[in-house]
A and B are shown apart, each in its own frame.
Chain A
Amino acid sequence: MSGTYVAASSVEDVLHAMADGARPVAGGTDLVVGARSGKAPLPEALVAIHRVADLRGVSERDGGLVLGALVTHADLADSAVVRERFTALADASAIVGSHATRNAGTIGGNVMNASPAMETGGPLICFGAVATLRSASGSREVAVGDLFTGPGQTVASPDELLTEVVVPAQAAGTGSCYVRLEYRRQMEIAIVGATAVVTLDGGAVSDARIAITALAPTIHRVAEAEQALAGTDGGDVAVRAAGDAAAQASQPISDVRGSADYRRAMAAVITRRAVTAALVRARGEDVPIPASPALHGAT
């Protein structure tokens, strides 16, 4: 049972507590659940950040998004601008846990928990999102793609708080999608996941960003899959090549949810689904959010 607790009311309060060794808690959906299951005990000193108004809210800036650390998955899944222009992030947020998880779980916690199976990581990386890490002694910006160093590990030092995630504007003609392989609709952890963010210019793919989830120690982009798609018409041959490249780049583990061989085989399928749906959306056509259940059975 943990020792001390303080409910901070400002970012400065949080940073001071963290400088003294406290660890932040927001929705508790990873920290408290992890303690209950015996994964890691609750930190000895806790600083609760749920009341810090400056860490709340989805706002728009220069065509992009500023997400406070306390933005919940429900906020993201419900946000009109996220659904319209950063659709992969809505796909991902809408399938985290259950309604109860999405109401409590935050983007700051999700990112800093650094699970290789987290839903929002792939979309944030592909959109080029940047996290602001603050401590009592300063502030720095780290691309979400450079944040993860291993399962549950990030480049952040223990006294640094993720305060916001900035998602830059995407080019006109961009469509995006996050898809996971799931055995059930809710309270699921991705067996395999894939994100695709594609930009179409005159019918050709002018830019493609593809990331794989739950297929390596960290979520990461796959340059070979992106190259297989860029410059093409986004037809079946290119989509298949992108899927194959994603499978090739994966280093999956075998666990209770699936064998490494199965995960590698499914990496190709799930990547194809994500790319195909992103292309459909880039053409201005509709794929329901979240995409994963809508695409069940797609090749």
Chain B
Amino acid sequence: MRYDATLHVNGMAYPVEIEPGRSLLSVLRTEVGLTGAKEGCDDSECGACMVLMDGEPVNSCSYLALQADGREIVTIEGLAGADGSLHPLQQAFLDQGGVQCGFCTPGMLISAKALLDRNPRPSEEEIRLALSGNLCRCTGYSGIVRAVQSAAEQLA
């Protein structure tokens, strides 16, 4: 059986009709058409699917899409400005070599955004902790941590 729901994603309302077992990730990628959030492990381990729900990072692969009805979702596509200008975090990832294959990058940026929203001047240890639910298999962690530090300095 399918149910109606309205997903509020990056400030836009998307009416969808979906089965109860569908994950938020699959609906974001298929029905909503935003493919920035990635399916890595599909087991809530790697963080590639991370989105903000009411401001907090959650793994969208293991969250039921119907339960996101009415909640405010922000995906990686919601970070850039309306004119397409990159968020300072995105620019810092590019400038500091925080992107290698790029698969973990959307989740890393979502975790980093949540961190800086809560703690604008994090220590390196706090950055590493905040990103520890996001796995980078290229193991480019130093560039990623440097990027978050650099963005924090610019945003402060």
The answer to whether A7 touches B62 (Cβ under 8 A) is no
> Which residues of the partner chain A approach B63 to less than 8 Å between Cβ atoms?
27-28, 32, 104
The answer to whether A42 touches B47 (Cβ under 8 A) is no
* In the assembled complex, A74 has its CB within 8 A of some CB on chain B: yes
Which one of A93-101, A213-221, A223-231, A272-280 is at the B interface? Answer: A93-101
Which one of B6-14, B51-59, B78-86, B94-102 is at the A interface? Answer: B51-59
> Which residues of the partner chain B approach A25 to less than 8 Å between Cβ atoms?
64, 67
* In the assembled complex, B133 has its CB within 8 A of some CB on chain A: yes
Residues facing A in B24-81 (CB within 8 A) are 42-45, 47, 50, 53, 56-59, 61-64, 66-67, 69
* In the assembled complex, A185 has its CB within 8 A of some CB on chain B: yes
From A4, A32, A187, give the contact of B23 (CB < 8 A): A32
A-B contact count (CB 8 A): 92
CB distance from B141 to the nearest CB of A (A): 13
CB distance from A273 to the nearest CB of B (A): 20
The answer to whether B20 touches A187 (Cβ under 8 A) is no
Residues facing A in B101-150 (CB within 8 A) are 111, 114, 129-130, 132-134
> Which residues of the partner chain A approach B64 to less than 8 Å between Cβ atoms?
5, 25, 28, 32, 46, 48
* In the assembled complex, A256 has its CB within 8 A of some CB on chain B: no
> Which residues of the partner chain B approach A1 to less than 8 Å between Cβ atoms?
19-22
Number of chain B residues whose Cβ lies closer than 8 Å to a Cβ of chain A: 32
Convert A9-41 into 0s and 1s, putting 1 for each residue whose CB lies closer than 8 angstroms to a CB of B.
000000000000000010111001101110000
> Which residues of the partner chain A approach B129 to less than 8 Å between Cβ atoms?
185-186
The answer to whether A36 touches B61 (Cβ under 8 A) is yes
- Identity of the chain B residue whose Cβ is nearest the Cβ of A42 in the assembled complex: B21
- Identity of the chain B residue whose Cβ is nearest the Cβ of A293 in the assembled complex: B129
- Asked, given contacts A50-B67, A100-B47, whether A36 binds B19 with beta carbons under 8 Å apart, the answer is no
- Identity of the chain A residue whose Cβ is nearest the Cβ of B56 in the assembled complex: A103
> Which residues of the partner chain B approach A186 to less than 8 Å between Cβ atoms?
129, 132-133
The answer to whether B67 touches A100 (Cβ under 8 A) is no
The answer to whether A35 touches B21 (Cβ under 8 A) is yes
> Which residues of the partner chain A approach B47 to less than 8 Å between Cβ atoms?
98, 100
The answer to whether B133 touches A3 (Cβ under 8 A) is no
* In the assembled complex, A2 has its CB within 8 A of some CB on chain B: yes
The answer to whether B23 touches A100 (Cβ under 8 A) is no
The answer to whether B43 touches A2 (Cβ under 8 A) is no
> Which residues of the partner chain A approach B19 to less than 8 Å between Cβ atoms?
1-2
The answer to whether A104 touches B59 (Cβ under 8 A) is yes
User: 25 A-B residue contacts at CB 8 Å?
Assistant: A1-B20, A3-B1, A5-B1, A5-B64, A28-B62, A29-B62, A33-B43, A33-B62, A35-B21, A36-B42, A36-B44, A37-B43, A48-B66, A48-B67, A50-B67, A97-B133, A98-B47, A99-B114, A99-B130, A100-B44, A100-B50, A100-B133, A103-B58, A186-B133, A187-B132
